[in-house]
């Protein structure tokens, strides 16, 4: 199997898994199950902030926006919100997931949101491998920019 086919299949698998995890977060918030103390107000606020973050990061990413972990050739987005956080779209989606968990007060939604956080941490590791190989300045950018939060999770220069 060629490297490009393997890369494409890995990308499709990650996008598919991402979709399943999104679905798990959404469905567990709607279904009956073990409950926790929830807060509809706080959960709704987090969901709205996450949606705002998604739109803002999508705007700043521009033509480079792709669900695949491989760059699409539109260039490195390092300005706007990407000047503070390397993966603001993923961070926003994580905030939405935790907002759904807090708003619904469902244990399985919280578990699904944690799974989503771990998944995005792993997906960014794969994605950043491609970014380092594609963009010569990515390592320096990642060393000074937080992963999901400003200043937190800076990448070590190798």
pLDDT tens digits, residue range 25-66? 999 999 888 888 889 999 999 999 999 999 999 999 999 998
* pTM for this entry: 0.91
Q: What is the pLDDT of residue 45?
A: 97
In a domain, 153, yes or no: no
In a domain, 158, yes or no: no
In a domain, 31, yes or no: yes
The pair of structure tokens assigned to 33 is 């199950």
User: For residue 84, which of 96, 92, 95 has the smallest C-alpha distance?
Assistant: 92
In a domain, 30, yes or no: yes
Which residue range forms the structural domain that includes residue 12? 3-144
In a domain, 152, yes or no: no
- Is the confidence at residue 157, as pLDDT, over 80? no
Q: What is the pLDDT of residue 7?
A: 87
pLDDT band at 2 (very low <50, low <70, confident <90, very high): confident
Look up the CATH number of the domain holding residue 10: 1.20.120.1630
The pair of structure tokens assigned to 5 is 């086919």
Cβ neighbours around 42 below 10 Å, total: 13
What's the pLDDT tens digit per position in 95-135? 999 999 999 999 999 999 999 999 999 999 999 999 999 99
Range 75-80, long-range pairs (CB < 8 A, 24+ positions): 76/131, 76/135, 76/137, 76/138, 76/141, 78/137, 78/141, 78/145, 80/56
**DSSP category for residue 149:** B
In a domain, 157, yes or no: no
In a domain, 111, yes or no: yes
Q: What is the pLDDT of residue 35?
A: 82
In a domain, 114, yes or no: yes
- Is the confidence at residue 1, as pLDDT, over 80? no
How many domains does the chain divide into? Answer: 1
């Amino acid at each position: 199997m060629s490297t490009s086919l393997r890369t494409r299949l890995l990308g499709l698998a990650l996008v598919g898994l991402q979709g399943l995890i999104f679905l798990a977060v959404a469905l567990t918030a709607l279904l009956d199950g073990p409950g926790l103390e929830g807060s509809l107000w706080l959960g709704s606020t987090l969901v709205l902030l996450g949606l705002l973050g998604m739109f803002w990061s999508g705007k700043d990413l521009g033509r480079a926006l792709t669900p695949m972990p491989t760059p699409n050739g539109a260039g490195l987005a390092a300005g706007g919100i990407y000047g503070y956080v390397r993966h603001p779209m993923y961070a926003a989606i994580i905030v939405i997931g935790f907002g759904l968990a807090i708003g619904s007060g469902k244990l399985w939604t919280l578990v699904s949101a944690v799974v989503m956080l771990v998944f995005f941490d792993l997906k960014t590791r794969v994605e950043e491998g491609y970014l380092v190989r594609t963009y010569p300045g990515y390592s320096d950018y990642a060393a000074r920019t937080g992963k999901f939060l400003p200043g937190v999770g800076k990448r070590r220069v190798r």
